[in-house]
DNA sequence: CCTATATTGTGTAATTATTACACATTTATT
DNA sequence: AATAAATGTGTAATAATTACACAATATAGG
């Protein structure tokens, strides 16, 4: 057991003055936010990308990003950049991970924080300010500019994990959806097929779906019932975990 | 469906020159790493803390952190800082989250990336260079300096989650451990009590524990069998997930 | 209007995982 | 030799998961 030793010379400890000098001078690094914006449309999971306009990456797609201002909170910067680049506000936005290899950006040292957002393609109008802002089927996302492929892969993986543990997916669907929509969503995100009956059983047993007593319109087959997700009930009841499993 | 529109003026797009100017000039921010180092001893989960030496936080404890150099990778910085401050190397180290509110540090704008490390207290000798470097029972960790309490809470929560899904816990135990040790560890991390028989059944059914045919020594009661974790087997077999549950 | 097509809605049996719970055994200590 | 303290073990009840098939309902097209 290690015990405290007040008398040891604090070699690695710095005074506030030293730290201030370091913070103010040569140790600073440019910091950016990159937004990974997922949407769901035509039963496919999509992501918003723009063309890179850097010569080094001509023709390649990239994530939406920009530098963080020295006087704004990191989360705030994420919302600002998302708003600026797509017109979107009032959406789910979550920090995923930070990427900081020295040479990840051709303009110099830029450490970037990835934020992930899930939006309902039907209900959010995009404000297209940027270079070919585009929804891309995630199946076709390869070879992005910078280290954006790695960032994208990380975010997709985290989405796959989180969507199984939290009702995130509903942010990607219209307010009223059919069970088929819901299953399509999960199948698209997780890239698997599920048994329809068991999928329904599972969601009904969770007891968060509210039957709206409405039917789908304009489908070329027997229409399904429409449901909404009861977020209030979920918030009240949530959290029970504990289940070791690996 | 949004389609690409090459002719839209790219208001938000910047040339490499513009970005370079931004990156080189006034937009830079100090970046630090904070290390949350968990250990397990006396059936308690512990964390390494040092005294803050800033006047503002006199008497308070803080995490081990330092600034990232402009020419080193972020992960590299985390390993360097951990090594520098504790003498530890060759340990599990993982990025958790980034904290970036404007006023989190009194010396100016410093965005910090939290890294979490799990070490075996018995098998790693600490190199005490710092101000009262100390193992603290996590139950007594309150009111840390800076926003370190928030960072600590986030890391502990993530540890609680991850330890249930991955065999992380074994990094905190000696190579040979009893099932009681293992259960104590889980109970300390998750802060719950578990049924002994069911705990054993669970771990035996996973089939990753190797019976070493050795017994505990120097315990004041019937000694238990010693086991090790079969990491190779785990690596081969891992990944099955898919289980929607919330 | 009738038929074909596509998709919805529904139940059960088998298997597997989880929970709750008690007593005999082994070792160290006195 | 007796005591104290912890180990090691099994079963029954319940809950969750999986695999699987057929009738009902709407649209589309002739």
Q: Is A220 on the interface with B (CB under 8 A)?
A: no
Task: Give the mean pLDDT of chain A.
Answer: 90
CA A120 to chain centre: 13
Single pTM value for the model: 0.91
pLDDT band, residue A7 (cuts 50/70/90): very low
Query: Each residue of B80-123: pLDDT tens digit?
Result: 999 998 889 888 899 999 999 999 999 899 999 999 999 998 88
Is the Cβ pair B54, A16 closer than 8 Å?
yes
pLDDT in tens, A50-76: 998 788 888 899 999 999 999 999 999
Cβ-Cβ pairs closer than 8 A, A with B, add up to 225
B18 touches strand C (CB under 7 A): no
Region A83-102 average pLDDT: 93
Residue A213 CA, nucleotide D29 C1', distance (Å): 30
pLDDT at A13: 66
State the pLDDT at residue B17: 79
State residue A142's pLDDT score.
Answer: 96
Task: Judge whether B80 and B72 are in contact, CB under 8 Å.
Answer: yes
Q: Could you write out the DSSP letters of every residue in chain A?
A: -----TTS--TT---HHHHHHHHHTTTEEEEEEEEEEEEEETTEEEEEEEE--SGGGTT-EE-EEEEPPTTS-HHHHHHHHHHHHH---S-EEEEEEEE--TTSSTTS-EEEEEEEEEE-TTT------STT-EEEEGGG--S-STTHHHHHHHHHHHHHHHHHHSGGGGGGS-SSB-HHHHHHHHHHHHT----HHHHHHHHHHHT-EEEEEEE--S-SSSPPEEEEE-HHHHHHH---------
Q: What is the pLDDT of residue B136?
A: 96
Max mean pLDDT range (A216-220, B6-10, B222-226): B222-226
Rg (CA), chain A: 22
Taking 70 as the threshold, does the pLDDT of residue A198 lie above it?
A: yes
When the pLDDT of each residue in chain B is averaged and rounded to a whole number, the result is 90
The pLDDT-based confidence of B61 (bands split at 50, 70, 90) is very high
- Which of B50, B56, B166 has the CB atom closest to A246's CB atom? B166
CA distance B235 to B97: 26
Q: Which residues of B touch A11 (CB under 8 A)?
A: 129-130
pLDDT value at residue B11:
57
Residue A125 or residue B72, greater confidence: B72
Strand C reaches within 7 A of the B100 CB: no
Straight-line distance from the first to the last Cα atom of chain A, in angstroms, rounded to the nearest whole number: 32
Mean pLDDT of A26-42: 94
Question: What's the pLDDT band for B12 if we cut at 50, 70, 90?
Answer: low
Give the C-alpha separation, A195 to A202, whole Å: 11
Q: In whole angstroms, give the CA distance from residue B71 to residue A7.
A: 34
Question: Which has more confidence, A49 or B23?
Answer: A49
Q: Is the pLDDT assigned to residue A15 strictly greater than 80?
A: no
Give contacts of A 131-190 with B, CB under 8 A: 131-135, 161, 164-167, 186, 190
Mean pLDDT, range A165-188, rounded to an integer: 96
Is pLDDT above 60 for A6?
Answer: no
Structure tokens at A130: 């940027």
Alpha-carbon distance of A93 to A77, in angstroms, equals: 11
Beta bridge pairs of residue B10: none
pLDDT of residue B8: 44
CA distance B35 to B113: 9
Tell whether B19 lies on the interface with A, counting CB pairs under 8 A: yes
- In sequence order, what are the residues at sequence separation of 6 or more whose Cβ sits closer than 8 angstroms to the Cβ of residue B113? A98, A100, B31, B32, B33, B34, B68, B74, B78, B95, B97, B98, B99
Assess whether pLDDT exceeds 80 at residue B1: no
Q: Using CB atoms within 10 Å of the CB of residue A69, give its burial: 0 to 12 exposed, 13 to 18 middle, 19+ buried.
A: middle
For residue A8, the model assigns a pLDDT of 44
> Which residues, at least 6 apart from A149, have a Cβ–Cβ distance to it below 8 Å?
A141, A142, A143
A201 CA from D21 C1′ (Å)? 17
- The mean pLDDT of A101-125, rounded to a whole number, is 93
pLDDT at B5: 40
Taking every pair of C-alpha atoms in chain A, what is the biggest distance, in angstroms? 80
Task: Report residue A200's pLDDT band, with 50, 70 and 90 as the boundaries.
Answer: very high
Check B23 against A55: CB less than 8 A apart. no
Q: What is the pLDDT of residue A11?
A: 57
B207 touches chain A (CB under 8 A): no
Nearest CA to A24 out of B88, B30, B149 is that of: B30
Residue B199 has pLDDT above 90, yes or no: yes
Per cent of chain A over pLDDT 70 is 93
Question: What is the structure's pLDDT at A3?
Answer: 42
Asked whether the predicted pLDDT for residue B191 surpasses 60, the reply is: yes
**Mean pLDDT value across residues A19-41:** 89
Q: What is the mean pLDDT of residues B128-149?
A: 90
The answer to whether residue B29 neighbours chain A at the CB level (below 8 Å) is yes
């Amino acid at each position: 057991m290690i015990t405290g030793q007040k008398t040891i010379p604090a070699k690695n400890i710095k005074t506030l003055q030293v730290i201030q000098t370091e913070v103010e001078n040569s140790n600073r690094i440019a910091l950016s936010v990159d937004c990974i914006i997922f949407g769901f449309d035509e039963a496919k999971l999509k992501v918003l990308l723009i063309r890179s306009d850097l010569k080094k990456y001509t023709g390649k797609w990239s994530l939406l990003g920009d530098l963080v201002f020295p006087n704004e909170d990191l989360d705030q910067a994420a919302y600002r950049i998302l708003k600026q680049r797509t017109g979107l506000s009032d959406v789910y936005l979550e920090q995923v991970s930070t990427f900081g290899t020295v040479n990840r950006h051709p303009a110099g040292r830029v450490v970037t924080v990835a934020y992930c957002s899930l939006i309902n393609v039907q209900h959010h109008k995009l404000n297209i300010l940027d270079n070919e802002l585009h929804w891309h089927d995630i199946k076709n996302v390869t070879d992005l500019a910078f280290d954006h492929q790695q960032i994208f892969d990380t975010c997709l993986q985290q989405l796959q994990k989180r969507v199984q543990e939290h009702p995130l997916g509903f942010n990607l669907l219209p307010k009223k959806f059919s069970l088929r929509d819901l299953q399509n969503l999960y199948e698209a995100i997780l890239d698997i097929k599920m048994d329809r009956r068991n999928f329904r059983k599972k969601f009904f047993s969770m007891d968060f779906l509210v039957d709206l007593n409405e039917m789908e319109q304009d489908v070329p087959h027997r229409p399904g019932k429409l449901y909404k997700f009861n977020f209030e009930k979920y918030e009240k009841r949530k959290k029970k975990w504990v289940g070791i499993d690996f």
